[in-house]
Amino acid sequence: MELPPALRQAVDQALEGVPLAELRRAADLLSRRYRDEVRDGRLHLPDHLAAQAYLATRLPATYAAIRASLAAVAELRPDFTPSSLLDIGAGPGSALWATRDCWDSLEAATLVETSAAIRKVGTRLAEGLAVPTVWLDANIETGLPTLPTSDLVTLAYVLDELPPVLIGRLVDQLWEATGDTFVVVEPGTPAGWQRILTVRARLIAVGAHLVAPCPHQAACPLATPDWCHFARRVARSRLHRLAKNADVPWEDEKYIFVAASKTPADGPAARVLAPPQSASGTVRLKFCMSDGGVAAKLVSKREGAPFRIARRLDWGDAIARDSGLA
């Protein structure tokens, strides 16, 4: 997955002339803080150089994860055409760009971000979108202001920066501001999955209808050391590779998400929980089922149409009820 052309061009302009050595140091510090989930009271993006490092090394991956999560919603809710977005912990506007790329119905956005440096960068990037955008300076830990009710509310790569005790209060406030659909995205780590499970349970308790990725509202059937997550392959720009001292022109971003709506939707029969394993004439699949269980299925060429469907499946795909696979 790549950034939309207009966003890629805006990012290239924002990074023009940045000394590579400084960018590498800032990118390394940023990577370590995110990887270690540091919570020391300091912002991950305290200054302009840190914000530029984020554009170079993290924006492509977070955009890809958010965009894929929204695509899962759009697939199961073809009737959902959001005109307003509320994004908390907006960074440079990753969710704004992903939402506009997914739905051309978007007409207005409210973005909440604590870091003045990344707000400034995000404001400039958003000039390339024909969507009126309001940026709010607010600290999630000390409490958010009254928020506008919006068709779509997003919270991406934020919970890992918060004390766990604050998650419930934040979810409640954002669900109150949700006009239709609420999407939460986290890193695809065991810890990120646990945070999503906390959000999921809270949403179910208040009567939310799960849209994706779960095909059911029962307790998650997975148990440690297994955990639910997905992945998107992200193209690395030349500067991205240089900033990370990387040779490979891509990276795999692992993520986990939950999407809930105030509108019921017909869910899939199952969802693919792991990369399909293909061999000569067979495909082995792992499913999360609509009945709340996990199932393994070996599909052979002799099965005809189900096998042809199975060969095209990817990790994270929803399984239609008429597929013959689940």
pLDDT less than 50: residues of the chain: none
Locate 141 and state its tokens. 């830990």
Sorted by where each begins, the domain ranges of the chain are: 5-261, 270-319
Q: What pLDDT is stored for residue 177 in this prediction?
A: 98
- Confirm if 156 and 95 have CB atoms less than 8 A apart: yes
| Other Cβ atoms within 10 Å of 75 Cβ, number | 13
Q: What is the pLDDT of residue 40?
A: 56
- Say which CATH superfamily domain 5-261 falls into: Vaccinia Virus protein VP39 (3.40.50.150)
Single out the residue of 255, 214, 262, 206 nearest to residue 67, CA to CA.
Answer: 255
Distances (CA, A) of 288 to 75, 190, 214, 253, 272: 17, 17, 7, 21, 7
CA gyration radius, the chain: 20
CB 92 within 8 A of CB 118: yes
pLDDT of residue 266: 86
Quote the CA–CA distance of 90 and 194 in Å, as a whole number.
Answer: 22
pLDDT digits (tens, 9 = 90+) for 125-175: 999 898 999 999 998 888 899 999 999 999 999 998 899 999 999 999 999
Q: What is the distance between the alpha carbons of residues 106 and 312, in angstroms, rounded to a whole number?
A: 31
Q: Identify which of 206, 177, 242, 200 has the alpha carbon closest to the alpha carbon of residue 22.
A: 242
Is residue 2 within 8 Å of 8, Cβ to Cβ? yes
pLDDT tens digit sequence for 179-195: 999 999 999 999 999 99
Give the pLDDT score at 39: 62
Helix and strand numbers (H, E) in the chain are 10, 13
Query: Which 3-state string (H, E, C) describes 231-259?
Result: EEEEECCHHHHHHHCCCCCEEEEEEEEEE
What is the structure's pLDDT at 179? Answer: 98
Distance of CA 28 to the CA centre of its chain: 22
Question: What CA–CA distance (Å, rounded) separates 227 from 294?
Answer: 12
